[in-house]
Every structure is written in C-alpha cells, then in structure tokens.
Amino acid sequence: MESGLVLQAVDLHGRAADGPDSDALLLEPVEAARAAAMEPGVRARFVAGRAALRRFAGELLELPPGELRVSFACPVCGSGPDLAHGRPAYTRWGEPVPLLLSMARTHHWILLAGLPAPGEGMRLGVDAEDPSRLDFDGFDAVALSPDERRAVGRLSGPGLLRERARLWTRKEAWLKMTGEGLRADPRTVEVLGRSGIADLDPADTGLPDSLVAAVALG
C-alpha cells in the first residue's frame, strides 16, 4: 500500500437519529441544503459522513476543520464552492489544500481515506461494502465482467457473497478514483488483478471483519 495513505473507520452504531449538533454545525450551507432534501435516515448518515470527512481532513492538515471550504468535483457539473456532490476536496483561503480524499458509507460505518502531499496528478478512491447486501439474483449479470462471472461461478454461500463484495468494492474504488462513478458500466471495469487497486484488511481500516473494503490509487 502507498506509504502516506491514511485510513480511518467511523462507527455510527448507537448515534442519535439526527446525530450530534456538532456534526450539523460543521456543514457549509451548500452541504446543509443537500442534506435538507434527504430522507431522515439517509440525511443522518450524510451529515455524519461530511462531518467526519471534514474533521479527518483537518487532522491530516493540522488545521481547524472550519477553515476548510468544499470544492467537490463532478464530471457533469464541474467543481467549486457551490458544488456539494462528486469527488471530495477542500480549499483554504481560495487555494486547494494538498490532500487527496475519498470516502464510503455502509449502513453503520464510514470509511475515510486521505493522502497528504500527493504527487502531481495522483487520484484516490476508496469503497466499503457489506457482503450480505449482495445476496440477490442478477448481481453478477449487472455488475461483473465475463471473466469475473466465471471466477465467482465456482463459489456459493458466504464465500460467494464475500467475493462479490471484494470485486464490487474494487470497482467502486476504481470509479471513485477516476471520478466517473457509476456513470460507467461496472461490467466494463475489469478488476481481477488490476494494478492500482488493493483489498484492505480490517486491521488497516478499523472496519469489522464482516465488511469488505478496497482502495485505488494512481
């Protein structure tokens, strides 16, 4: 794994339905406006994730999180302080901060990834998934390439679900790294053995063993 990459898991179990006020207060108006349009449960996870990401960035940069301004980037909508979706990034006093960021949410966990002082042109993506969510017919047909379908075809039970989750997190990590997200057809993103993607061990992330995670960097 790239030296300098920092991973942090945030456990949302036991939080109040709306989360602490300190989380909501950390959001900028453009983020709060996006949150306001969400269903309550989704909103709570969104707010917790945005607050955790901002605190994480502040820690890595050794800056107060309130000094950071969102500067997300979307392949369709562009980037800047008025955008609250897409690839996460921050500016401070109008200048991009030297930090690559990526994040993922599962139901009760948030996974954050950061690379301070990245090399020119580097990009980062991270993803986490609960294998039990992938227990449905049709997953392989909509998500996997022919080679990947053959590879999981020999598996069954928990082993099948874990391998599906492994391939899926590798795809999402890659697509967050490129910035395309699921505008790209996941069947066309071959991730078996692709360099630049690494499966993440729970010992490295702090996530429970029941979840699967991957990072893409390049």
Ligand X SMILES: CC(C)(COP(=O)(O)OP(=O)(O)OC[C@H]1O[C@@H](n2cnc3c(N)ncnc32)[C@H](O)[C@@H]1OP(=O)(O)O)[C@@H](O)C(=O)NCCC(=O)NCCS
| Residues engaged in binding ligand X (CB under 6 A) | 46, 49-50, 74-77, 85-88, 103-105, 127, 172, 175-176, 179, 181-183
- The CB-of-156 to ligand X minimum distance in angstroms stands at 25
- The CB-of-132 to ligand X minimum distance in angstroms stands at 16
Quick one: 78 or 153, whose CB is closer to ligand X? 78
Nearest-Å Rg of the Cα atoms of the chain is 17
- The CB-of-140 to ligand X minimum distance in angstroms stands at 18
Residue 96 makes CB contacts below 8 A (sequence gap 6+) with 71, 89, 90
Q: Work out the burial of residue 68: count CB atoms within 10 Å of its CB; fewer than 13 is exposed, 13-18 middle, 19 or more buried.
A: buried
Quick one: 13 or 154, whose CB is closer to ligand X? 13
Quick one: 150 or 182, whose CB is closer to ligand X? 182
Quick one: 155 or 182, whose CB is closer to ligand X? 182
Residue in the block written with tokens 């921050």? 90
Tokens of 117: 């002082």
Quick one: 45 or 61, whose CB is closer to ligand X? 45
- The CB-of-88 to ligand X minimum distance in angstroms stands at 4
Nearest to 65 by CA among 110, 31, 104: 31
- The CB-of-40 to ligand X minimum distance in angstroms stands at 16
Full 3-state SS string of 52-98: HHHHHHHHHHCCCHHHCEECEEECCCEEECCCCCCECCEEECCEECC
Q: Which helix (H) or strand (E) holds 40?
A: helix 40-61
- The CB-of-154 to ligand X minimum distance in angstroms stands at 27
Is the Cβ–Cβ distance between 170 and 199 less than 8 Å?
A: yes
Quick one: 126 or 152, whose CB is closer to ligand X? 126
Closest residue to ligand X using C-beta atoms: 181
